[in-house]
Structure 1
């Protein structure tokens, strides 16, 4: 992914108003992000514990998505799998994130949900740059490039549903 500026991020959102995009908290460490290892930029809003955001490149343009989730704690023995990168996490490491649909459907209250890594670090998990609390990922016969393609394909399918 190419490096992004705060203005790039704010202008990319498809499922919130310009005013909401202007008020959301953008990460302060944009200059320090490992852009070459990211398929999308994802972050949690420190001021709003039920909100997260992600921005990805799609068809040579940026697409930003505002997400909401229920901050529910699960027991440490409970394990869940992210639908994007297929990483398993104990406890609250995977959360059902919901996004309002784009356009009129979103204004009518329609939304789409997907189970995702709560920290939105899928790109780093797939590449081995970050290890989940559980100690690792399942061994796969797919190459890393194929796993990356699967993750970006899963994200693309989720974004398609926001436009539908």
Structure 2
């Protein structure tokens, strides 16, 4: 990703109301971001447990969405994140929804998917786990590329009406 200022990140949120932009809190380590190593930016709002954000570059432009985490908890022993495609303990994956941008969002339409509860998909696919005997480095690179693609596709589905 290209480096962004705080204002650029906030301005990229296509489904945010003016109030949501005003109260949005960037991650505490935002000034230390290593932009060259990010495929997309995702974080849980440090001031609101139920809110998160994803910003991805779509057609060369940063496009972000505000996410809402569903209330409740899973009783599943394990769960699958639809962004990074990793299996996690059930309490570490949550349903997130995003109000669609534009008129569709005003009508109450939204998009939802199961995502790592702490929105750490970018790091999860990069964990330095030893490769299995039948796994090779390109399979890890493919996981990284797939995670970036799925995050862009999710953001694009939300932003489609903008």
Is the structural similarity TM-score above 0.5?
A: yes
**Cα gap change, 1:121/1:13 in structure 2, threshold over 3 Å: closer, same or farther?**
same
TM-score, normalisation: structure 1: 0.84
Residue correspondences, number: 157
In the alignment, which residue of structure 1 is the partner of 2:33? 33
Asked whether the equivalents of residues 4 and 30 of structure 1 are also in contact (C-alpha less than 8 Å), the reply is no
User: For 2:91, what is the secondary structure of its paired residue?
Assistant: coil
User: For 1:127, what is the secondary structure of its paired residue?
Assistant: coil
Question: Equivalents in 1 of 2:2, 2:54: separation in Å?
Answer: 14
Asked whether the equivalents of residues 79 and 91 of structure 1 are also in contact (C-alpha less than 8 Å), the reply is yes
* Structure 2: 5+ residue stretches without partners: none
Question: Equivalents in 1 of 2:139, 2:90: separation in Å?
Answer: 28
Question: Equivalents in 2 of 1:28, 1:160: separation in Å?
Answer: 26
In the alignment, which residue of structure 2 is the partner of 1:134? none
Higher relative contact order (CA 8 A, sep 6+): 2
Q: Is 1:114 paired with 2:118?
A: no
From 147, 155, 158, the equivalent of 2:143 is 147
Q: Is 1:23 paired with 2:23?
A: yes
TM-score, normalisation: structure 2: 0.84
Asked whether the equivalents of residues 93 and 117 of structure 1 are also in contact (C-alpha less than 8 Å), the reply is yes
Write the deviation string for residues 12-65 of structure 1: whole angstroms up to 9, x where unpaired: 011012332122112231122343332211111232221111111121111111
User: For 2:47, what is the secondary structure of its paired residue?
Assistant: coil
Q: CA deviation at 1:145?
A: 2.2
Runs of 4+ that moved beyond 4 A: 139-142
**Cα gap change, 1:13/1:22 in structure 2, threshold over 3 Å: closer, same or farther?**
same
Asked whether the equivalents of residues 42 and 53 of structure 1 are also in contact (C-alpha less than 8 Å), the reply is yes
* Structure 1: 5+ residue stretches without partners: 132-138
Q: RMSD across aligned C-alpha pairs, in angstroms?
A: 2.4
Q: Is 1:160 paired with 2:156?
A: yes
Asked whether the equivalents of residues 38 and 124 of structure 1 are also in contact (C-alpha less than 8 Å), the reply is no
Q: CA deviation at 1:113?
A: 0.3
